Chain A
Amino acid sequence: MLEAFLTSTIAMATPILLAALGELLVEETGIINIGIEGAMLAGAFFALSGVYFTGSVAIGLMCGIGAAIAINAMLGALVINLAVNQVVAGTALDILAAGITGVFYRRFFGITGKAFIVTPLRAIGLGPLARVPILGPMLFDQSPLVYFAFLLVPVIGWMMRRTRYGLRLRAAGERPEAADALGLHVYSLRWQALIVSGALTGVAGAFLTVAYANTFVENISAGRGFVALAVVILGRRNAWGLAAASILFGAAMALQFGLQALGTAIPYQLFLALPYALTLFVLAFVGGQSSDPSALGVPYSRS
Chain B
Amino acid sequence: MLGTIGKPAAAIALAIALISLVLLALGASPAGVFIALWQGAFGNWIAFTDSLVKATPLVFTGLAIAVAFSAALWNIGADGQLVIGAIAAGAVGPFLEGWPRPLALSVVLLVGALGGAGWSGICGYLRARRNTNEVISTIMLNFVAAQILSWTVHGPLMETSRAYPESMPIASSAEMYMFAPPTRLNAGMLLALLLAVAIFFFLFRSAAGFQLRAMGKNRRAANFFGIPIASITIWTMALSGALAGLGGAVQIAAINHRLYEKVSPGWGFEAIAIALVARLNPLAIVAAAIFFGALDNGSQAMQRAEGVSPVLVQVIQAMVILILLAFDTSAWGNIRDAIARGRATQAPSEAAADA
Q: Which among A127-135, A162-170, A192-200, A273-281 touches the partner chain?
A: A273-281
Instruction: Type the 1/0 row for B121-147, where 1 means its CB is closer than 8 Å to any CB of A.
Output: 000001000111101110111011001
Interface size, chain B (Cβ < 8 Å): 56
Instruction: Type the 1/0 row for B329-354, where 1 means its CB is closer than 8 Å to any CB of A.
Output: 11110110110000000000000000
Contact B143 A82 (CB under 8 A): no
Q: Which among B178-186, B200-208, B303-311 touches the partner chain?
A: B303-311
Contact B147 A283 (CB under 8 A): no
Closest to A275 in B: B143
Contact A301 B318 (CB under 8 A): no
Instruction: Type the 1/0 row for B31-54, where 1 means its CB is closer than 8 Å to any CB of A.
Output: 000000000000000000000000
Residues of B within 8 A of A229 (CB): 136, 139
Contact A303 B337 (CB under 8 A): yes
Q: How far is the CB of A72 from chain B (nearest CB, A)?
A: 14
State A229–B134 Cα separation when bound (angstroms). Answer: 12
Q: Which among B99-107, B166-174, B269-277 touches the partner chain?
A: B269-277
On whether A95 and B137 interact (CB within 8 A), knowing A277-B144, A303-B334, the answer reads no
On whether A103 and B311 interact (CB within 8 A), knowing A81-B331, A83-B331, A96-B322, the answer reads yes
Contact B332 A223 (CB under 8 A): no
On whether A87 and B74 interact (CB within 8 A), knowing A92-B325, A99-B311, the answer reads yes
Instruction: Type the 1/0 row for A224-261, where 1 means its CB is closer than 8 Å to any CB of B.
Output: 00100110010000000000000000000000000000
B190 at the interface (CB under 8 A from A): no
Q: Which among B150-158, B220-228, B251-259, B281-289 touches the partner chain?
A: B150-158
Q: Is the interface of B mostly helix, strand, loop or mixed?
A: helix
B312 at the interface (CB under 8 A from A): yes
On whether A103 and B26 interact (CB within 8 A), knowing A87-B74, A284-B132, the answer reads yes
Q: How far is the CB of B172 from chain A (nearest CB, A)?
A: 30
Contact A92 B322 (CB under 8 A): yes
A115 at the interface (CB under 8 A from B): no
Contact A87 B76 (CB under 8 A): yes
Contact A94 B269 (CB under 8 A): yes
A270 at the interface (CB under 8 A from B): yes
Beyond A107-B28, A267-B154, A289-B130, 10 additional pairs, beta carbon < 8 A: A82-B329, A89-B325, A92-B273, A106-B309, A106-B311, A107-B309, A226-B139, A229-B136, A270-B151, A280-B144
B residues bordering A, Cβ < 8 Å?
22, 26-28, 74, 76, 126, 130-133, 135-137, 139-141, 143-144, 147-148, 150-151, 154-155, 266, 269-270, 272-273, 276, 307-309, 311-319, 321-322, 325-326, 328-332, 334-335, 337-338
Question: Which 9 residue pairs across A and B have the least CB separation, nearest first?
Answer: A99-B314, A96-B318, A102-B311, A99-B315, A273-B147, A106-B309, A92-B321, A269-B151, A83-B331
